[in-house]
Amino acid sequence: MDRPITFREELRIAGRIASIRLRGQMAYRASFLLQIFSNFLINTAEILALFAMFYRFDTMGGWTLSEVALLHGISMVAFSIGDMLTIGMDNVAPQIRSGEFDRVLTRPLSSWMNAATSEFNLRHLGQLVQGVIILGFALSRVDIAWSIDKALVLALAMISGIALFMALFTVEAIFSFWTVNGVEAINAFTYGGSDLVQFPLHIYGRTLRFLFLYVIPAGFITYYPALYLLDKPDPLGMPDWFVLLGTPITVLFCLVTAWGWNQGIRHYRSTGS
Partner 1 sequence: MSMISVRDLRKTFPIKRHRSGMKGSIASLFRPEYEGEFAAVKGISFEVARGEIVGYIGPNGAGKSTTIKMLTGILVPTSGDATVAGLVPWEKRKQLAQKIGVVFGQRTQLWWDLALIESLELLKHLYRVPEARFQENLATATELLGLGDFLQTPVRQLSLGQRMRGDLAASLLHDPEILYLDEPTIGLDIVAKAAIRDFLQTLNRERQTTVLLTTHDLDDIEQLCARIMVIDHGEVMFDGELNALKSRWGGRRQLIVDFASDPDADIGSISNGALEVTQIDGPRVTIAFDRDAISAPDVLGRAGAFGEVRDMSLQEPEIEDVIRRMYEGSVPIRT
Q: Which residues bind partner 1 (CB under 8 A)?
A: 1-2, 4-5, 9, 13, 16-17, 20-21, 23-25, 99-100, 102-103, 105-110, 175, 178-179, 181-182, 266, 269-272
Chain centroid to Cα 108, Å, comes to 27
In whole angstroms, how close is the CB of 52 to partner 1 at the nearest point? Answer: 36
In whole angstroms, how close is the CB of 41 to partner 1 at the nearest point? Answer: 24
Nearest residue to 160 (alpha-carbon basis) of 75, 85, 260, 66: 75
- Return the number of the residue (140 or 270) whose C-beta is nearest partner 1: 270
Greatest alpha-carbon span in the chain: 66
- Return the number of the residue (18 or 159) whose C-beta is nearest partner 1: 18
- Return the number of the residue (66 or 262) whose C-beta is nearest partner 1: 262
In whole angstroms, how close is the CB of 182 to partner 1 at the nearest point? Answer: 7
In whole angstroms, how close is the CB of 186 to partner 1 at the nearest point? Answer: 12
Q: What are the residue ranges of helices labelled H in 197-245?
A: 206-210, 219-229
**Helix (DSSP H) and strand (DSSP E) numbers for the chain:** 12, 0
Output the CA–CA distances (angstroms, integers) from residue 201 to 118, 142, 207, in the order listed: 35, 19, 11
Distance CA 210, CA 219 (A): 9
- Return the number of the residue (5 or 238) whose C-beta is nearest partner 1: 5
